Structure 1
Amino acid sequence: MKNILIIDDEINICTLLSKFLSKHGFGVDTTMTGGAALKMMKEKAYDLVLCDYRLKDTDGAQLLKDIHQIHPSTIVIIITGYTDVRVAVEMVKNGAYDYLSKPLYPDEILSLVHKAFAHKESEQERMAVQPVDAGSAPEARETLLSRNQNDKNDKYVYGESEGAKELSRQIKLVAPTDYSVIIFGETGTGKESVAHLTHHHSKRNTQPFVALDCGSLSKELAASELFGHEKGSFTGAINTKIGAFEQAQGGTLFLDEISNLSYDTQVAMLRVLQEKVIRRVGSLKEIPIDVRIIVASNEKLSESVQRGKFREDLFHRLNEFTIYIPPLRERREDLTLFTAAFVRQVEKELDKSCGKISPEVWDCFRQYNWPGNIRELKNVIRRACLLTPEMQDITMSALPLEMKESFLQTPEEVHVSGELAMISNDNDLKTVALQAEYNKIINVLKEVKYNKTKAAQVLNIDRKTLYNKLRLLNINY
């Protein structure tokens, strides 16, 4: 039996974790202080320690050192709150196996504990068949620690803003149910990640999670992708195909950008949700399905209903619970956590150590509007880490041009000058059109804080065309 020690100054957490892990075959002891924990470890060997970072008599960093002085091979997993994640990441670099962020989910804890033990056993087997001599022992241990630190699952970062906390509360509330869920958020906010997290913490988490992008489905093939088809049911159907509903049997089906489904497909979807059966294209056989539905859209489906773009009856069938993901510009407090998480991912991907983010880059990040949200931030970090030499700080030179323009040309620094010199006749149609174009460009530039790339996007023209119009209309800034 593996022995686990839980160190947390909240008695409820100690009690709940102890009961949960004991039921899964572990020997569990608990304590509420670091001092008591060290005394217990001198008297008994523990295979794994679950330790809260903030304790009344010590902090997690010092306790980690003390634990490894007593038992160097003991696995340590840190438990953190929202504001301690950055510190936890540093502790992983200093020898902790991994960290768990509150709120805690039993399944996630159990999975990580099993993974930690499996990893330790595999390392012991590897070291047994590849013994190292005394001279190379320090290097071998360094390699082992490096591998231990990098062999981690990518984690969903909740964030510490009020919006992020509310998002976490909503996920935790609806995940254990079988409610259909609508996830609403701008492009790049992480709708599929939230859907996957909801599935992960549901009763269906051992069954498939199937994601389908409705925005990429043609009207002709949508039914085949969703419900499957029989061989020969239409031109090109050379084999029988299992659709997304059958693939997700017993689990969760995530339909992204559902508002893009055609009217006919929406009708078929409604029938499936009502009758709990599907029929493959080209077949009359009814196949029972047991699937939880999570859908997502970057526009409010209620507004799509009002515009006649989405069926009202299907909307009400899906709208058992709605999760709203705020855009990154409304949760700037989370930038630090997201950035740290993405840097860690890229370091693992590129097998290199990235330096710190320079203060100027942080200022740029906080000022930037992030129209692409978390996805854009991740791409910016990946690009910056790739361009920056190992261990050197990430500077403005590694950022995309539009970000640098946005930062260097703030509204306080920019002064629009010039006037439409050719206006001479208010009744001349060409002149009136040019004046309207001039006013529109000026207004859009102000709205996007003089970001030329963003202005071109809003005006639905390319950057070269915008530059030509700025010169033609004598707009200087």
Structure 2
Amino acid sequence: MKNILIIDDEVNVALLLSKFLTRNGFNITTASSGAIAFEHLKNQSFNLVLCDYRLEDTDGREILKRIKAEYPQTGVIIITGYSDIKMAVELIKLGAYDYITKPLYPDEILSTINKALEMQTALMDNTSETATTSGESKTPKKQIASQDFVIGSSRASKELVHQIELVAPTNYSVIIIGESGTGKESVAKSIHMNSNRRDKPFIAMDCGSLTKELAGSEFFGHEKGSFTGAMNTKIGHFELANGGTLFLDEIANLSYDIQAALLRTVQERKVRRIGGTKEIDLDVRIIIATNENLQEAIRAGKFREDLYHRFNEFSINMPPLRERGKDIILMAEHFLQAANEELGRNVSRFSPEVIESLLSYRWQGNIRELKNVIRRAALLTEGGEVQAKALPLEISTYTKGVSVYDNAPSYHNNETPAPPAPPRHDLKNAAMEAEYETILRVLREVNFNKTKAAAILNIDRKTLYNKMKANNLDK
């Protein structure tokens, strides 16, 4: 549960905020003055502070400066009764996540808090990594910027590390290409952490989750009143990343209109908020990631070729997990240790059968799938060794490219076992098998995005769900 400190000398406002946020799953502490607030900060760790700008004993600007000096990992949102754009810009530069004016709207407050907590998590990751080098030589050391990034011993892993070391000290834009779950964001963080920008923000954006209507505001920010619903000034991700690195994941999902606006910003290194007149100079390194073939997207008219060439100063191809050999075991051991710390367990090793299964399995979900499997196995293991029974059945029975699911009935919970599959020597079953293979192939091509898969297959989503269920692909 996230801890939030509300600082406001208006008791009614603090009480209403406290009740609302408590109902939404936060642990809330309130303070009516700056002095009381810092007593709480001394005794408890807070993820976020909501601070009224006008207080009897101080103001939000001074509280922000002190929190950033003494508790840099704590996020701050300033709340005030009036709007002042110059003040907003100053507060953002001092480290505030956002600036909200009264009256407060519940949905807006909740959305801003959730985004601030997500952003603070990313910044905390960066801070924890750079802290290990403070006070040491100014020469950058090799760092691991994410708990999911494991330096392996395979040829593919060594080549990946070499490319990171090669491009990190430069200001080149980078395209990271690879299947879903291969660790593209971890590599982007590693590039950032081994660059001269490592003390500046690393801001990640999931372009796949952006609608056309929201993308412009998320990228460039907006001024208060610039469109319906723009209740406050918003700082865009380009401004937030200024001086540091902006990571754009699933870039191919952006609409053509947003790509055009993005091209202008990347070319001119300036950004103008929606509804604003002032252009803001940018010094941002851009790293993009995709699991799609951008060259094919260009030929299909879905991605701008000029934007592609702006980004493609250096490219890194992420090797799928199945091509990394015994690195799979190194990563599994790494994730097992992390799971031990998370669960308070002491599972120290894998049985020979488990090792064989881990090395044999195809890992379509790559590193993300491996991490989830190991966390599950650690939870199910009572002794010091992970046994095959702690693995999902499709993995523990997967040897030489064949799973038990290929030739045996499936069992789910207490359901009645399915009857044996009929002979596959008639046209009906041949057609069913062809349909299964076609649906599975398309789902993999679009990273199991059902909307895209349905469009490619020329059927609606409901039909796709029904066919997936009929073919056990929903499992």
Q: Normalization by structure 2: what TM-score?
A: 0.59
Please give the alpha-carbon distance, in whole angstroms, between the structure 1 residues aligned to 2:215 and 2:129: 39
Please give the alpha-carbon distance, in whole angstroms, between the structure 1 residues aligned to 2:365 and 2:405: 25
Does 2:165 align with 1:172?
yes
Does 2:204 align with 1:211?
yes
Name the CA shift for 1:440/1:308 in 2 (closer, same or farther; >3 Å): same
Identify the residue that residue 387 of structure 2 maps to in structure 1.
395
> Which residue identity is paired with 2:471?
L
> Which residue identity is paired with 1:247?
L
Return the index of the structure with the highest Cα Rg: 1
CA contact (8 A) 1:229 1:237 kept: yes
Identify the residue that residue 423 of structure 2 maps to in structure 1.
419
The Cα offsets for residues 273-328 of structure 1, whole Å up to 9 and x where unpaired, read as: 11111110111221111100000001122221122110000000110000111000
- Structure 1 runs (4+) deviating above 3 angstroms are 107-116, 152-155, 404-409, 411-421, 441-447, 456-464
Please give the alpha-carbon distance, in whole angstroms, between the structure 2 residues aligned to 1:114 and 1:155: 23
The Cα offsets for residues 128-180 of structure 1, whole Å up to 9 and x where unpaired, read as: xxxxxxxxxxxxxxxxxxxxxxxx98473121111111111110000000000
Extract unaligned runs of 5+ from structure 1: 1-106, 117-151, 424-431, 448-453, 469-477
Counterparts of residues 450-461 of structure 1 (less than 5 Å): none
Counterparts of residues 264-413 of structure 1 (less than 5 Å): 264-389=257-382, 391-407=383-399, 410=402
Identical positions, percent: 50
Name the CA shift for 1:331/1:263 in 2 (closer, same or farther; >3 Å): same
Please give the alpha-carbon distance, in whole angstroms, between the structure 2 residues aligned to 1:411 and 1:384: 19
Shift of 1:403: 2.1
Name the CA shift for 1:407/1:318 in 2 (closer, same or farther; >3 Å): same
Identify the residue that residue 465 of structure 1 maps to in structure 2.
470
CA contact (8 A) 2:223 2:232 kept: yes
Counterparts of residues 408-447 of structure 1 (less than 5 Å): 410=402, 418-419=422-423, 434=428, 436-440=430-434
> Which residue identity is paired with 2:431?
E
Secondary structure (helix, strand or coil) at the match of 2:234 reads coil
> Which residue identity is paired with 1:220?
E
Identify the residue that residue 79 of structure 1 maps to in structure 2.
none
**What is the aligned length?**
310
Name the CA shift for 1:412/1:435 in 2 (closer, same or farther; >3 Å): closer
Q: Which region of structure 1 is more displaced relative to structure 2, 266-275 or 328-337? A: 328-337
Identify the residue that residue 112 of structure 1 maps to in structure 2.
132
Please give the alpha-carbon distance, in whole angstroms, between the structure 1 residues aligned to 2:307 and 2:388: 48
Name the CA shift for 1:402/1:293 in 2 (closer, same or farther; >3 Å): same
Name the CA shift for 1:413/1:311 in 2 (closer, same or farther; >3 Å): closer
Please give the alpha-carbon distance, in whole angstroms, between the structure 1 residues aligned to 2:130 and 2:221: 36
Name the CA shift for 1:220/1:165 in 2 (closer, same or farther; >3 Å): same
The equivalent position to 1:243 in structure 2, one of 206, 213, 236, is 236
Shift of 1:115: 8.6
Secondary structure (helix, strand or coil) at the match of 1:182 reads strand
Secondary structure (helix, strand or coil) at the match of 1:160 reads coil
Shift of 1:193: 0.4
The equivalent position to 1:191 in structure 2, one of 171, 179, 184, is 184
Across the aligned residues of Structure 1 and Structure 2, the Cα RMSD in angstroms comes to 3.6
CA contact (8 A) 2:149 2:186 kept: yes
Secondary structure (helix, strand or coil) at the match of 2:292 reads coil
Identify the residue that residue 252 of structure 1 maps to in structure 2.
245
CA contact (8 A) 1:347 1:354 kept: yes
The Cα offsets for residues 70-122 of structure 1, whole Å up to 9 and x where unpaired, read as: xxxxxxxxxxxxxxxxxxxxxxxxxxxxxxxxxxxxx9999536599xxxxxx
CA contact (8 A) 2:151 2:157 kept: yes
Please give the alpha-carbon distance, in whole angstroms, between the structure 2 residues aligned to 1:414 and 1:375: 24
Q: Which region of structure 1 is more displaced relative to structure 2, 350-359 or 233-242? A: 350-359
CA contact (8 A) 1:420 1:438 kept: no
Shift of 1:396: 1.8
Secondary structure (helix, strand or coil) at the match of 2:316 reads strand
Shift of 1:436: 4.9
Please give the alpha-carbon distance, in whole angstroms, between the structure 2 residues aligned to 1:328 and 1:183: 15
Identify the residue that residue 26 of structure 2 maps to in structure 1.
none
